[in-house]
Copies of this chain bind each other. A is one copy, B any other.
Amino acid sequence: DTNNTNIKLSLPVVCFVWQLSMIILFGVFVRYNEESDTHWVDYRKENNITSDIENDYYFRYPSFQDVHVMIFVGFGFLMTFLKRYSFGAVGFNFLVAAFGIQWALLMQGWFHSLDYTDGKIKIGIENLINADFCVAGCLIAYGAVLGKVSPVQLLVMTLFGVTLFAVEEYIILNVLHAKDAGGSMVIHTFGAYYGLSISWVLYRPNLDKSKHLNGSVYHSDVFAMIGTLFLWMFWPSFNSAIADHGDGQHRAAINTYLALASTVLTTVAMSSLFEKTGKLDMVHIQNSTLAGGVAVGTAAEFMLSPYGSLIVGFFCGIISTLGYIYFSPFLEEKLKIQDTCGIHNLHAMPGVIGGIVGAISAAAATNTVYGDLGLENTFDFTGPFAKRVPTIQGGYQAAGLCVALCFGIGGGIFVGLVLKLPIWGDPADENCFDDEIYWEVPEDEESVPPILAYNNHMIPNKHADM
């Protein structure tokens, strides 16, 4: 009962074909925009831009790099908590993200950055941030299926995931004109339900066979804290990266900083309260402390006010930790959804809360609080949307949340069915959560002593000196 996990043909073929396609499509479609092109010197003069420092690059580059760290180190290391799947966690995360950002630049480019005068996508720093954002949705989904799929399946998941993302994002941000600076709806809700639906379709009734590897060891938990902390620290940059210049970015960073601080306190409280002797559980500290950042994503740019951010964080820490304690077992036993990293608790529930908070706070916006110009600026009530008012905006925000949910669930079921085909080299139930399947794992010397050899044969985990 061992699956064929040999991906010697499929993985290289997918990578090469994909990368060559990217080169061709970029050759046909992608160019620098006016701020990253050498003609900037002329553009600057024509537009009366007084200094190079007003190039969008300087408004967004620091946030971009923080987001980049979240995508590659944050998501990658957060998933290293498994005792023998750290290579897969950080390595496949790396592969998936590098793969996805290229496709995201194209997909998002066609929707948002197409220059109709010459049919080219014009890219700048904001496109790079959006590509990272887009890939974040797929990496969230990876969390649900961590250890149970092959890298080829991950690439397929990402290919479809990025495509679906670009469409739902266009509908939510452009058609519905909803605001979602930090992506509570567009990124987290979509990504989480996409991953959960895939995991539901790929349900493994006999996953218990690899139960001994589905847990952490001491140092793998410390590695995972690297991921947690870089996500936590840089979340203010995530939620402010594509917010409006000036007060928009400023306010988004403050709101996120506060929501996250509040979440830590209630996560610790709940973790202690629900363990037998008041001890803390690393699973909660690694994950639920981040829920406030997710939930404040949509409203980060709004006048949520500092205490509003604290309240959002307060409840998300509670709900997310309760999710790990009560809801995850329920999901697995009753709904047949195996969620390795608990993304339902970290991204799905907080994402939905974030969408609701966004809808309510948009609907409650007033000229008194925002100022006339401030209201117009924050919600972009200009052009075709010049007549929209806050209450109506609140309705469109809620509609946006529904779109994200539908795309996540529907897309996930479809992609899950595709991934069920027996051609992708996924591991057998007894080989899940094991790097040995897809990686050359170093032989750890201490297992060699003959006196221990017998024991080591009994125990799947053969690294004694690690």
Contacts and interface: CB of A to CB of B under 8 A. Distances in A.
Contact of A250 (B57, B223, B448): B57
A117 interface: no
A39 interface: yes
Contact of A268 (B11, B63, B369, B459): B11
A273 interface: yes
Nearest to A63: B61
Interface in A271-310: 272-273, 275, 277-282, 285, 289, 303, 305-307, 310
Contacts of A229: 72-73, 76, 90, 94
Contacts of A440: 275, 279-282
Interface in A8-54: 8-9, 11-12, 15-16, 18-20, 22-24, 26-27, 30-32, 35-42, 44, 50-54
B251 A37 contact: yes
B65 A62 contact: yes
Contact of A38 (B16, B35, B39, B378): B378
A446 B32 CA distance: 55
A39 B251 CA distance: 12
A439 B170 CA distance: 45
26 contacts: A6-B277, A12-B268, A12-B272, A12-B278, A23-B311, A32-B305, A37-B303, A38-B373, A40-B247, A57-B249, A61-B63, A65-B66, A65-B233, A69-B230, A72-B229, A84-B218, A87-B221, A123-B306, A125-B250, A217-B463, A221-B442, A280-B438, A445-B459, A448-B459, A449-B455, A451-B452
A388 to B, nearest CB: 17
A18 B266 CA distance: 10
A418 interface: no
A379 to B, nearest CB: 10
Interface stretch (A98-106, A137-145, A180-188, A399-407): A98-106
B303 A73 contact: no
B451 A455 contact: yes
Contacts of A277: 6, 8
